[in-house]
Amino acid sequence: MTDSSRAAANRKAREERKKAHLRGIMDRYTERFRAAGDRDAPSVAREAHIAIDELLARDRKKDASSSAIRCGKGCDRCCHGPVEIWPQEAALLVEFARAAGMELDQARLERQGRYTADTWRQQPAADRACGFLGGDGACTVYEFRPNACRKLLVVSDPALCDAEKHPPDGIGRWFSWEAELMESAALEVFGAALMPRLLLAALNRGEREDIR
């Protein structure tokens, strides 16, 4: 075997090991979410949120490049785009909103619910923002925000996150492989949809239960 073919074989073996490692992580989360599927929806979401926060904190600590993350309170450009969540997250958000006496704008959710991730930007600008975005640019459900919001961490100039002015491929992200895999497993096991549709479904489910 020549030196170059040995190097290529080693590289291939490393790639295979990495793929198997990532597949193992995905399988572990898939199993975990399948096992949790029948439990009380808000608590399933709450546990997953705590778990992803711990993962992100662990991986940020291990990776010095995470110190370049620019996201912060009041930086809300990503809250004007489509956000994909899973039903248990919607149940948790509705439960929190009700407990906090927050009024969800159902008419706006219905309008937003007609759009997909691809057509989201065709809405009137006033409708594009997440219904939980406060007037000061802060998230009003921060403790209960979905995983999609927790793991979206940007290291490029926040101005580039403005999808009206800049293409998405200009945004630099810091990410944790494990957090990405965990969220992929949750979306696959529980089913994914954009936040307005799942919030409406959770609101309607809650109303039906109140009537009974």
Interacting residue ranges for ligand SF4, rule: CB under 6 A: 79, 83, 130, 132-133, 139, 141, 145, 149
- Residue 139 or 192 with smaller CB distance to ligand SF4: 139
- Residue 83 or 200 with smaller CB distance to ligand SF4: 83
- Residue 86 or 132 with smaller CB distance to ligand SF4: 132
- The least CB distance from residue 133 to ligand SF4, in Å, is 4
Phi, psi angle pair for 85, to nearest 5°: -135, -175
Query: Quick check: helix, strand or coil at residue 118?
Result: coil
- The least CB distance from residue 180 to ligand SF4, in Å, is 17
- The least CB distance from residue 154 to ligand SF4, in Å, is 13
Cβ count near 121 (within 10 Å): 14
For residues 14 and 12, what is the distance between their CA atoms, to the nearest angstrom?
Answer: 5
Instruction: Please name which of 110, 84, 101 lies closest in space to residue 204, comparing C-alpha atoms.
Output: 110
- The least CB distance from residue 146 to ligand SF4, in Å, is 6
- The least CB distance from residue 28 to ligand SF4, in Å, is 26
For residues 208 and 210, what is the distance between their CA atoms, to the nearest angstrom?
Answer: 5
Q: DSSP letters of 160-178? A: GG-TTTS-GGG--EE--HH
- Residue 38 or 118 with smaller CB distance to ligand SF4: 118
- Element housing 20 (H / E): helix 3-36
- Residue 145 or 197 with smaller CB distance to ligand SF4: 145
